[in-house]
Amino acid sequence: MHCLPWNPSSEKQRYVMHAHRRAVIPSGQPQAQLHRYFWLALAAIVVVMLFLPFFHVKTLGAEVRAWLTTADGANKLTFQPLLYFSSERSSFLTTFDIDEQQRLQQIDGFGAAMTDTSAWLIGTKLDQEQRDRLMRALFTPLNGLGMSVVRIPIGASDFTASGLYSYDDVAPVQMDPRLQKFSIVHDTSYIIPLLKQAMQLNPHVSYMATPWSPPAWMKTNASMLGTSSSQIGSLTASAYKPLAAYFVKFLQAYKERGIPLYAITPQNEPFNPVETYPGMSFSALNEASFITNYLGPALKNATLAPKILIYDQNWDRPDYPLEILNDPTAQRYVSGTAWHCYAGDPSMMTKIHQAYPSKDMYVTECSTGQGGIAPLSAIEFFLRSTQHWAKAVVLWNIALDISGGPKIGEGCGGCTGLVAIDQATGQFTYTDNYYHLGHLSKFVVPGAYHIASTITRASFPYDSPLEDVAFQNPDGSKVVIVYNPSSWSDTFKIRWNTHHSFVYTLPSKGIVTFKWAGKLPSPLITTMWGRKDHTSWFRLIRWFLSLLALAASLFSIPQHRDRCPLNHRFTFRGESFSAQARSPPAL
């Protein structure tokens, strides 16, 4: 169509052009603008959808449960809101990489000692209802700590409410080499009943036993005290065979009452023959001879097979277990080494393990907590012991009274049990040690494996001091315990299977236990950046090309304009007319 000539000198035509620019709307343009806005809105939606996977952290199906204990007492093994694994990663955080493919030692369990003092308090100072409630809190896995390893003194220790006693006590200057006076009747009133109740509450509980002193008549000082009348007590030459028989009879007597012993040590703290409570000096050479020539053969002849653990004292004297392990004859009877926490460093266990990898590590005593004599808190004791190959980690007394007794002698001033019992009222309270122990014993079951946990520490704005240890239970579930020893909160990351992680902030002096199921769900829900398979990158390229094609199509939309504005129809003051056919109405 040809356009008519336009004469801008015409006043009416100038008016028509002015009206066209200001108040007159071409009836054909709204549809083109609508199309343009539609495509722009669609493009915006598509762009957001395309880039959403790169910036939005999607939740994986792996659910993480957490339990928290804080120093202020506001949280005591308190269940926390659920956490979820995702592929979100922040490289500046302290990160614990959990790798269940790298298994370390298998775990026997965690617990404390049922000393004569502990059993007497629980068995005689609590009524039946309180006693049952406490035993459930200690041993049931679901609603209690689920303690799985308990240490038992063979005869009196320093924590006894019954004074000095053994299982073969005779009058002074008398001897009983055939053990005709042997009896465990002392244990039948309150110790054995509690041990049996614990087995009913937790069938997986195991017992280990240790003598502080053999019967007085077996020793050079004729006393159960470590030192008496300035004479250090040691085992007489004629008592090696009777002492081996003493162990056999003890194991048999307990077994007859339904309590099998899974481990024993020949002597508690052989370097510590003190004057005020039972003890005995027992050199490494003499202990090796006793195991090789007497204890090992006697157990074999009686068809008893408890683990024999050597040493049973602090981390500062590795020469003692090494001397025994270097004896090939003694070594064949030895399952491992028992340690205490009062001196030295737990890393010594790793050195012994490296020298003798087939011999296991056990930590059998530590009195810690507020007022305890150990240089570590209970949670530090548990974490560092398992980090250095301990299969079982055991605190000292299960229960003490509110004054830290009853006990004999002057050892272990300020010792702390898992519970404090008020003898006057028959009430009990849980100590910090109870909750610290629960962070492991409640969630890590016998048969679990200590698994690798590699820490990458954040150094800005401070060096992170966080400690952790990780386990895999027989059902495949993972357990990670983290402790924050600093005076400030610390945020960290638990990363599993390379690039799936979650972030958590732990308060000062706080302890948290995480537990999650064994496998990630399939398919993985993650962000593109977190995936490293080739399919993801092919999808990225495809999305990018689609975006380019969309952009190209937007810019190529034709803009249909009529070059002859006079060919349009206009509306002016409610009246429609053609720009070229009519003049505007007279004003």
Place of tokens 């050892």: 411
3-state secondary structure at position 122: helix
DSSP 86: B
Residues 77, 55: Cα–Cα separation, whole Å: 35
DSSP 281: B
Residues 322, 547: Cα–Cα separation, whole Å: 70
Closest CA to 50 of 554, 555, 541, 557: 541
Asked if 269 and 312 touch (Cβ cutoff 8 Å), the reply is yes
Q: Using alpha carbons only, what angle is made at residue 168 by residues 167 and 170, rounded to the nearest 5 degrees?
A: 140
Q: In what order do the strands lie in the sheet with 419-422?
A: 399-401, 419-422, 427-430
Element containing residue 399 per DSSP (H, E): strand 399-401
Asked if 579 and 7 touch (Cβ cutoff 8 Å), the reply is no
- Reported in sequence order, the residue ranges of 147-261 that DSSP labels E, i.e. its strands, are 149-153, 206-210, 227-228, 231-232
Residues 388, 104: Cα–Cα separation, whole Å: 10
Residues 326, 333: Cα–Cα separation, whole Å: 12
CB-count exposure of residue 15 (10 Å: 0-12, 13-18, 19+): middle
Say what angle helices 191-201 and 128-139 make with each other, to 10 degrees.
50
Asked if 270 and 282 touch (Cβ cutoff 8 Å), the reply is yes
Token pair, residue 470, equals 């990780």
Token pair, residue 201, equals 């509450």
Closest CA to 85 of 479, 492, 523, 525: 525
81 CA to centre of own chain: 17
Element containing residue 146 per DSSP (H, E): none
- Residues acting as catalytic residues: 269, 365
Residues 444, 432: Cα–Cα separation, whole Å: 19
- Reported in sequence order, the residue ranges of 36-127 that DSSP labels E, i.e. its strands, are 63-69, 78-79, 83-84, 94-106, 109-113
